[in-house]
Amino acid sequence: MAKKKFLSLIIVPHTKGTTKTITLSRRTSRLIFSVIIGFGVILAGFLVDYFSMNVTRARYRQLQSENQEQKKVIASYENSIRQLMAKIQAFESYARKLNVMAGLRSPEALKEVGVGSGEETNGFQVANPNWSADSSSSALSLSQIHLKAEQLEQNFGTLLSFFEQQRARLAQTPTIWPTVGFITSGFGWRIDPFTGKQTFHKGIDIATNLGNPVVATADGVVIETKNDRIGGKTIQISHGGGLSTLFYHLDKILVRPGQKVKRGDIIGLVGKTGKALGPHLHYEVQINGKSVNPLQYILEEE
């Protein structure tokens, strides 16, 4: 019968004392070593997993930070796109006014004009009024915005060439505000403040301070000054080609019939003469005696 092999573990204390001996069988020793090795493997795996999770968490936090930064960049990008689209819409509105003015003289000069998909008006193309700066930023790609900008550039180039040839005509077109103030009644149908009935308002009413200067909105000749019960003190200026402007409810008239005036010349002072509830200027633009909306000619910002 073979003798069993044993493993002895001797414990020697640092201080004086008896030495202890622990005797283990080979089988028990292997079992203990296996347990220690297994525990070590598990501990090592746990540590590897722990440090791996730390790296993953750090990467996740980094990705979260990068995601937040990207969201800010995207939000800034979308805001820039909206601002760009709003500017393009403003340019299109400006181009429409110029197109209307150019069409009064020579629509043929604008046959080559491109202002987007647009619609046809008097033989030339104008910007599409259905296109809005409120559209989703994803609705128009950068390439589409670039294309629209190129079309506007072409439109303005054509108009510039046209107006350079028609400088005299432009000088006789009422493109500025007749006085400083704010519009209280626009062109079109409204309820008359005196009768309470619906009537057609042939011009725009600009409320402002009594005595504020009123200026000629284009070069022309004063053809009439008068003072009547309805319009009060009134000035009418002819600009040629059937185009004329009228100024009502003045406090003072500073020009005389037959006098030539330039755009920006002071022709009178704001008043409340005639049928007026308070100091304001009633301003009209007429073509061959027919009233049209003055706002389609004014190029100045309010």
Q: What is the pLDDT of residue 140?
A: 53
Average pLDDT over residues 30-49: 84
Contact 248, 254 (CB under 8 A): no
pTM of the full structure: 0.49
Do the Cβ atoms of 190 and 202 come closer than 8 Å? no
pLDDT at 5: 65
Q: Among 202, 175, 179, 176, which Cα is nearest to 293's? A: 202
Q: Which residue has the higher pLDDT, 226 or 50?
A: 226
Last residue of a domain, one of 124, 140, 171: 171
Check residue 9 and give its pLDDT.
67
Same domain assignment for residues 188 and 291: yes
Same domain? 252 vs 186: yes
Stronger pLDDT, 41 or 149, i.e. the higher one? 41
Question: 260-299 burial, b for 16+ CB within 10 Å, e for fewer?
Answer: ebebebebbbbbbbbbbeebbbbbbbbeeeeebbbeebbe
Q: Which residues pair with 244 in a beta bridge?
A: 238, 286
CA distance 126 to 117: 8
Q: Are 284 and 236 part of one and the same domain?
A: yes
**9 lies in some domain:** no
Domain total for the chain? 2
Lowest mean pLDDT of 62-66, 214-218, 281-285, name the range. Answer: 62-66
Of all residues in the chain, the percent with pLDDT exceeding 90 is 33
Q: What would the pLDDT profile of 128-168 be if each residue is shown by its tens digit?
A: 434 444 444 454 567 777 777 777 777 777 777 777 767 77
β-pair type (266-270, 243-253): antiparallel
Within a domain: 138: yes
Domain shared by 194 and 287, yes or no:
yes
Position 255 scores a pLDDT of: 97
Reported as type and span, the H/E element at residue 238 is: strand 232-240
* Residue appearing with tokens 């080979």: 26
Per the domain annotation, does 79 fall within a domain? no
* Structure letter (DSSP) for residue 240: E
The whole-number pLDDT of residue 187 equals 93
Residue 7's Cβ-count burial label (10 Å; 0-12, 13-18, 19+) is: middle
Residue 159 lies in a domain: yes
Residue 120 belongs to domain spanning: 87-171
pLDDT score at 286: 95
- The pLDDT score that the predictor gives to residue 248 is 96
d(CA 105, CA 160) in angstroms, rounded, equals: 14
Phi and psi at 186, nearest 5°, equal -90, -175
What pLDDT does 34 receive? 84
188 and 150: one domain?
no
Q: What is the pLDDT of residue 134?
A: 45
Containing H/E element for 239?
strand 232-240
What per-residue string of b and e applies to 23-48 under the rule 16 or more CB within 10 Å gives b?
eeeeeeeeeeeeeeeeeeeeeeeeee
Long-range contacts of the stretch 162-166 (C-beta < 8 A, 24+): 162/102, 162/106, 162/109, 162/110, 163/98, 163/102, 166/102, 166/105, 166/106
Give the confidence band of 43 by pLDDT, cuts at 50, 70, 90: confident
- Answer with the residue of higher pLDDT: 208 or 92: 208
pLDDT in tens, 51-85: 888 888 888 888 888 888 888 888 777 777 778 77
**pLDDT given at position 160:** 73
